[in-house]
Structure formats: C-alpha cells, structure tokens
C-alpha cells in the first residue's frame, strides 16, 4: 500500500492547518539606529530600507511599526562624538526617556557596548592596543544602569567581555532595578556578516579585529559554555548572533537550556537578501519567510530582524 503524506500538502489551507512552525509578529524585534538631531532620516547605503533616525523620526517609525503589531524594539546609538560619556548620558538614554513618554505598550531593548562610542571602535577599554576585559566590566555595568534608569525594559550586553552579565546584574540589583531583564549576546561570533551594521553605526574597529573576544565561528562546544556561564551570571534571555549560519547553535541552545533563545538575523544576512532581490534573482517575501521560519524551527523564541516591518505586513499570525 502506498503511503500518501502528500495528502497533507493538498492545498494552502491544509498546509497551513498542519504547519509545524509559524513566524508570528510577537516573535519579532525591530532594530533602530538613533542619532542626534531633528527630523533626520538617513538611509544606510549598505542596508536599503534601513535608516538612521533622530529621536523624533524614530518615534514616528515606532508608531508605524506598532500599527502593524510590532511591540519590541532594540536601540543602537550613533553618537556625534566618540566618547564614553555619550554612552552613559547621550543619545540612547535621551531616546529611551522620550519614547517611553510618548508611546505605551512597547518593550525597549538597549544594546550595551562601547564600540560605537570610542575612537578605537572596540567593545571594551583599550590600552596599548589590548582590549582589557576586567577594566571594561565596571563601564559596561554603568552603561546598563544608565539605560535602565532611562526606561529600558531590557539591557542587551553585546561586548563579549567575560563576566559582564554578573557585573550588570549586580549593578542593576544594587540600584533596585531587579525587574530589568538582561538579554545577553551569549554566543556572538567574530563574523563577516556584520559589515553593513558597522557602516550603519560607524562602529568598525580602528585597528585589528574582534577575534580576541568574539567567538571563533568554527566552535560549537564553546558556544554552550558561553551560554551556561551567562545563565549562571543572571541572564534572562540568551542570544545567538548571527543566526542563519548558526542554526545548529540555536538548536543546541534551545535543547540544552531552559531560557528563551533570541536569534539575531544580522545586517549582512539582510543586505544579501536585498541585493539578490534587487537583481531579480529571488522573491524577497518568499525567501525572508523561509529564512525566519528556519530560525523558528531551529528553536528561536525571539527573532531580531531588519525585515521586521515587512514581515509584520505579510503575516497574520498573532
């Protein structure tokens, strides 16, 4: 007797009825680049359709995205001056306060790092060409606290310094921000997929690379160790970045650990899709949904993606 699994693929209604994994609007986090100024909306050459916003235009963008059902946003600062004071009291704390005053019922995530705020363009304190781990921890914790004080619901350390989750949790708790979540970039690979982001945030390293603190993309067991350490130190959500080439890591994280797993669909992944679509080689909607569904299937509970607004318009799952 012939087995006929094709019966479950007979038409779109049946296929949708039995579909195992679906990307929903509630899964999505929309990244926004925020800079000083007024009425600014600058398209990023290497990321078509993505912009640097001043706070007022970012609020307009958030309101539009919110109308499509997107409720969560991660903010990256693009400061006018390269100094750590801008990280502590500059554009992101200002943006958090103003957005929170004007828009209710959203979650704001603040990326915690130094790379966009120093002339060296590295994610920690630099001395004599060396990125110093322990000396960076206090600064990262201070930045996280300033974001929590400004209204961040979640702080997201992306620096990959050892011990930073512990220092941030300790600092937040000491200042009564026990309800502020930490979404740690637990597994952040030293990846070539970050190029367009560094263009957008003006955060490329001024010398060398980030391979002494970001992970070697050949390593799998190390990823599980990094996640375990961050959970022990107090992370509430763990992240794998990039996502598309690391679906196996997302799957392992979901299988082994009982915490929400975020996948960051990064700038290079976004820009490759946009470039291929522009050339007419792919159908953008179809491939974006296939890519994001693969992340969901691998185990991602949260998907950070520059495609968020388009995806929210395309899908109806709530």
- Fold held by 5-314: TIM Barrel (3.20.20)
- Whole-Å CA distances, 67 to 61, 110, 114, 158: 10, 22, 32, 29
226 is in an annotated binding site: yes
Cβ–Cβ < 8 Å for 255, 299: yes
- Is 194 labelled a binding residue? no
The residues carrying an active-site annotation are 188, 241
Question: Mean of the pLDDT values across residues 60-64?
Answer: 98
113 annotated to bind ligand: yes
Whether residue 97 has pLDDT greater than 60: yes
240 strand-pairing partners: 187, 263
What is the value of pTM for the model shown? 0.95
In eight-state DSSP terms, residue 111 is E
The residue among 149, 134, 141, 89 whose CA lies nearest residue 112 is 141
Domain segments of the chain: what residues? 5-314
Confidence of residue 149 (pLDDT cuts 50, 70, 90): very high
Whether the Cβ atoms of residue 189 and residue 242 lie closer than 8 Å to each other: yes
- Give the pLDDT of residue 143: 96
pLDDT confidence of residue 317:
58
For 214-273, the pLDDT digits (tens) are 999 999 999 999 999 999 999 999 999 999 999 999 999 999 999 999 999 999 999 999
Average pLDDT over residues 68-83: 94
pLDDT average, residue stretch 99-126: 94
306 annotated to bind ligand:
yes
Instruction: Tell whether 267 is in a known binding site.
Output: yes
């Amino acid at each position: 007797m012939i087995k006929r699994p094709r019966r479950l693929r007979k038409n779109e209604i049946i296929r949708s009825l039995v579909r195992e994994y679906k990307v929903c609007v509630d899964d999505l986090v929309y990244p926004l680049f925020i800079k000083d100024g007024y009425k600014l909306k600058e398209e990023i050459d290497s990321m078509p359709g993505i912009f640097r916003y001043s706070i007022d235009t970012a609020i307009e963008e958030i309101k539009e995205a919110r109308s499509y059902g997107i409720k969560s946003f991660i903010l990256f600062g693009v400061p006018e001056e390269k100094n750590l004071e801008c990280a502590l009291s500059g554009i992101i704390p200002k943006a958090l306060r103003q957005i929170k005053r004007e828009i209710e019922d959203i979650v704001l995530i603040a990326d915690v790092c130094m790379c966009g705020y120093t002339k060296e363009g590295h994610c920690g304190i630099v001395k004599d060409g060396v990125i110093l781990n322990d000396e960076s921890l206090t600064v990262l914790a201070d930045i996280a606290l300033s974001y929590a004080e400004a209204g961040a619901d979640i702080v997201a350390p992306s620096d990959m310094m050892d011990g930073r989750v512990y220092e941030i949790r300790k600092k937040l708790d000491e200042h009564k921000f026990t309800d502020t979540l930490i979404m740690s970039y637990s597994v952040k690979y030293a990846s070539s997929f970050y190029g367009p982001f560094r263009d957008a945030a003006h955060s490329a390293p001024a010398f060398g690379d980030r391979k002494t603190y970001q992970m070697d993309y050949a390593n799998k067991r190390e990823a599980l160790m990094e996640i375990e350490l961050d959970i022990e130190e107090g992370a509430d959500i763990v992240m794998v970045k990039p996502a598309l080439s690391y679906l196996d890591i997302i799957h392992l994280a979901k299988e082994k650990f009982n915490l929400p797993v975020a996948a960051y669909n990064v700038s290079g992944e976004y820009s490759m899709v946009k470039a291929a679509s522009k050339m007419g080689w792919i159908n953008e909607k179809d491939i974006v949904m296939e890519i994001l569904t693969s992340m969901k299937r691998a185990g991602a509970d949260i998907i950070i993606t520059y495609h968020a607004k388009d995806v929210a318009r395309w899908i109806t799952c709530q």
